[in-house]
Structure 1
Amino acid sequence: MVVALALSLAGAVAALSLPIGLFPQVAFPRVLVDIDAGSRPADQTALIVTRPVEQALRAVQGVQDVRSETTRGSAQISIDFGWGRDMVASTLLVEAAMSRALGTLPPGTTYNVRRMDPTVFPIISYALQSPASSPVQLQDFARYQLVPLLSGIQGLARVEVQGGDTGEVEVLADPARLASHGLAMSDVATAISNGNVLSAVGRVQDRGRLSLVIADHSLPGIAAVGDVVIRTDAAGVVHVRDVATVQQGVVPQWLHVSEDGRPAVLLNIYEQPDGNAVRIAREVQAKLAATRLPPGTRLWPACAMPC
């Protein structure tokens, strides 16, 4: 009788501590690599991006098959391993291979490595809308206010922000004005890069106090970018504003997010493999409910498990 009661209590405690989710925890022997290489044509992307990456990934220990799909400026590569392998270690090997191959790929190429299991899908998504805020402001609020707020929740893997716009400063060079000064677009890019520097240049020690000296030559805004000097010679000084139009813009977006027919920003919540999806969803809801939103901003659950 005592043994049966002890076993019952042990079973109840174990049941309460088990992770809760819609799907069972299964580690499929597959890793996906998503590559973004700009807007190059598909045939060029396959030649200078997909092929060298495939060759690098085929050398990973335990790989049985590598398949790829290439489109304009992007590629998705599927790496299959055998059942029973440690997929955490295999994913790390793929990450290491991609890191080594990145130096041979075109500048600006980015990649994302995903291990295929039920946690690749978000457990819940929240929509953020505001008629009083621009898409840039809405995305910044989600990325710099809400994501850090939620990232400390136990069992939460990551928070993904989709939608909105990312602000940037655009420099639109005029070919005729460049030619009149004997300059090329590369001269403009080099001048802006060299004029936008933040670096440590030394340290100062005084009366037992050590201070780090920083050289801040960062460009604070549009006017500062226009004032960058491209060349100085006997003919005079050539600034960026003399050969180009500098304006505020946004990074081109290929994904449009909307809720109820209006532009929105989505917060996708992902759990760790051993996470408790129900508890994570409750903590996310509690933290977001206690958050002070900008005036006129709405935040509500847009999708529940599975999204």
Structure 2
Amino acid sequence: AFKGLLSVFGAAIALVFGLLLFLYERFRVALAVMAMPLLAAGAVFIGLWITGIELNISAMMGMTMIIGIVTEVAIFYVSELQGLVRDDEMPFEQALLSAGRNRLRPIAMTTIAAILALLPLAFALGQGSAMQQPLAIAIISGLIVQLPLVLLLLPVLLKLLMKKEAI
């Protein structure tokens, strides 16, 4: 079962990257956006290690879910950036900052709401919740790093990769 979930995780990464290539039609933008969920998935291992929980099937499911969740947030940031560059004809560097300012509150609120909703599972409160504890910890770990990744690292990567090109 673990081997099967690893293949599902790999397929999720490949399908999301294909979607990003189709959506943006630029390898560099897709690469920058894809770096966010991969780094957030790495945070899952740190979260599991801190809590002393082993990587199991439930945690792997959470790690696979993080790929989609973090990619969605990164797509929202990039779509805001595209709108600012296209509509306002704003300089790229200024648009990177404005997109972060415009998306800070929605990204923070959805991240915090998801973390708070998963906390009872992460603390294994209630009957049967111990089985889903690794899933909750995996998702919470990925969500915690999602905010700085998308709002701080993604603009830096886009600036480095895009250089003078418009997005």
The answer to whether TM tops 0.5 is no
Structure with greater Cα Rg: 1
Provide TM-score, normalisation by structure 2.
Answer: 0.29
Relative to its length, the structure with more helix (as a share) is 2
Structure with higher RCO (Cα < 8 A, 6+ apart)? 2
Relative to its length, the structure with more strand (as a share) is 1
Provide TM-score, normalisation by structure 1.
Answer: 0.18
